[in-house]
Amino acid sequence: MTLVDHKKYLLEICEKVDQDLASPTCKKLREHLEKCPDCAAYYDSLKKTIVLYRNYDVEMKGSRVTQILARLDLDEPLQITLPPKGPGQDRNKKHPH
C-alpha cells in the first residue's frame, strides 16, 4: 500500500480517535487498522497524545475561598463604622525598653 492510500485514512483516524471503533460507522477504518501496522501505529500515537495531556494535572497549593470572599466583600458598600479612637490607645507606639 502506498502512502497516498494511508493518507485518506489520516483524517478519519484523527476524527475517530476518541470514539469507540466497535461502532458500525467505524467499520472500514477498523478493518484498515487491523491490516495496516503503519496506520495502527499512527492511531496509537494520537491516542497516547490525548492520554498524556489528560494525565498532566496540577494540584492547588491551598484553598482560595477566603481571598475570593474577601474580594467580594469589597464590592459591597461599606457598612462598618470604626470605633472612636480614645487617647492613649495608639498601639503603634513603640515601647521603650
Q: Which residues in this chain contact other proteins in the complex, by CB under 8 A?
A: 3, 6-7, 10-11, 14-15, 17-18, 38-39, 41-42, 44-46, 48-60, 63-65, 67-69, 71-73, 75
Give min distance, CB of 8 to Zn ion, in A: 9
Q: Please state, in angstroms and rounded to a whole number, the distance separating the CA atoms of residues 35 and 6.
A: 12
Contact present, 43 and 13 (Cβ < 8 Å)? yes
70-76, long-range: CB < 8 A, 24+ apart: none
H-type helices in the chain, by residue range? Answer: 3-16, 27-35, 37-55, 65-73
Binding residues for Zn ion, how many (CB under 5 A)? 3
Give min distance, CB of 46 to other proteins, in A: 5
Decide: is 36 part of the binding site for Zn ion (CB under 5 A): yes
Residue ranges in contact with Zn ion by CB under 5 A: 6, 36, 39
